[in-house]
Amino acid sequence: MINPIIAQSTISCPVCGHSKKETMPTNACQWFYECESCHAPLKPKKGDCCVYCSYGDVPCPPIQEDKACCSSTEENHQV
Ligand SMILES: [Zn+2]
Protein backbone atom coordinates (compact mmCIF):
# COMPACT_ATOMS: atom_id res chain seq x y z
CA MET A 1 0.00 0.00 0.00
CA ILE A 2 1.33 3.36 -0.94
CA ASN A 3 -0.13 6.31 0.80
CA PRO A 4 0.28 9.53 -1.10
CA ILE A 5 1.77 12.29 0.92
CA ILE A 6 -0.72 14.99 1.67
CA ALA A 7 0.96 18.35 1.45
CA GLN A 8 -1.91 20.43 2.67
CA SER A 9 -3.21 20.65 6.17
CA THR A 10 -6.04 22.65 7.63
CA ILE A 11 -4.59 24.29 10.67
CA SER A 12 -6.96 25.35 13.41
CA CYS A 13 -6.13 28.11 15.82
CA PRO A 14 -6.65 26.97 19.42
CA VAL A 15 -7.18 30.56 20.50
CA CYS A 16 -9.92 31.81 18.21
CA GLY A 17 -10.92 28.69 16.31
CA HIS A 18 -10.03 30.12 12.94
CA SER A 19 -8.94 27.47 10.48
CA LYS A 20 -7.10 27.79 7.22
CA LYS A 21 -5.72 25.39 4.69
CA GLU A 22 -1.99 25.71 4.41
CA THR A 23 0.57 24.00 2.24
CA MET A 24 3.23 22.30 4.30
CA PRO A 25 6.89 22.29 3.41
CA THR A 26 7.83 18.73 2.57
CA ASN A 27 11.46 18.98 3.59
CA ALA A 28 11.27 20.93 6.82
CA CYS A 29 9.15 21.34 9.88
CA GLN A 30 7.32 24.50 10.62
CA TRP A 31 7.84 25.46 14.21
CA PHE A 32 5.99 28.68 14.18
CA TYR A 33 2.67 29.75 12.78
CA GLU A 34 0.83 32.97 13.23
CA CYS A 35 -2.92 32.82 13.10
CA GLU A 36 -4.07 35.14 10.37
CA SER A 37 -7.21 35.95 12.29
CA CYS A 38 -6.09 36.75 15.84
CA HIS A 39 -2.33 36.75 15.20
CA ALA A 40 -1.69 34.40 18.05
CA PRO A 41 1.74 32.80 17.75
CA LEU A 42 1.28 29.07 17.61
CA LYS A 43 4.04 26.70 18.52
CA PRO A 44 4.03 22.91 18.56
CA LYS A 45 2.73 21.19 21.65
CA LYS A 46 5.22 19.25 23.67
CA GLY A 47 6.05 16.04 21.84
CA ASP A 48 4.94 17.30 18.47
CA CYS A 49 7.46 18.19 15.83
CA CYS A 50 5.64 21.02 14.14
CA VAL A 51 2.54 23.14 14.23
CA TYR A 52 0.78 20.93 11.72
CA CYS A 53 1.13 17.92 13.97
CA SER A 54 -0.32 19.91 16.84
CA TYR A 55 -2.99 21.97 15.17
CA GLY A 56 -3.48 20.66 11.66
CA ASP A 57 -5.88 17.96 10.53
CA VAL A 58 -3.03 16.30 8.65
CA PRO A 59 0.37 15.67 10.23
CA CYS A 60 3.46 16.89 8.48
CA PRO A 61 4.90 14.97 5.50
CA PRO A 62 7.82 13.38 7.39
CA ILE A 63 5.38 11.95 9.91
CA GLN A 64 3.19 10.65 7.10
CA GLU A 65 6.23 8.91 5.70
CA ASP A 66 6.93 7.47 9.12
CA LYS A 67 10.21 9.25 9.40
CA ALA A 68 11.60 10.73 12.54
CA CYS A 69 11.23 14.23 11.18
CA CYS A 70 13.39 16.97 12.66
CA SER A 71 13.15 15.79 16.25
CA SER A 72 15.45 12.86 15.66
CA THR A 73 18.52 13.61 17.71
CA GLU A 74 19.71 15.78 20.52
CA GLU A 75 16.79 18.14 20.71
CA ASN A 76 14.61 15.26 21.69
CA HIS A 77 15.66 15.00 25.27
CA GLN A 78 16.19 18.58 26.13
CA VAL A 79 13.56 20.61 27.84
ZN1 LIG B 1 -6.48 32.64 16.04
* 39 Cα: distance to centroid of ligand 1 (angstroms): 6
Average pLDDT over residues 14-25: 95
pTM above 0.85, yes or no: no
Distance 30 CA to ligand 1 centre (A): 17
**How far apart (Å, rounded) are the C-alpha atoms in residues 34 and 41?**
5
Tell me which residues have their CB within 5 A of the ion that is ligand 1. Answer: 13, 15-16, 18, 35, 37-38, 40
Residues 43 and 35 sit within 8 Å (Cβ to Cβ): no
Share of the chain above pLDDT 70, in %: 84
Give the distance (Å) from ligand 1 centre to CA of residue 1.
37
Distance (Å) of CA 23 to CA 10, 32, 62, 65: 9, 14, 14, 16
Quote the pLDDT of residue 63: 86
**Predicted confidence (pLDDT) per residue in 32-70, tens digit:** 999 999 999 999 999 998 999 999 999 988 888 887 666
**What's the mean per-residue pLDDT of the chain?**
85
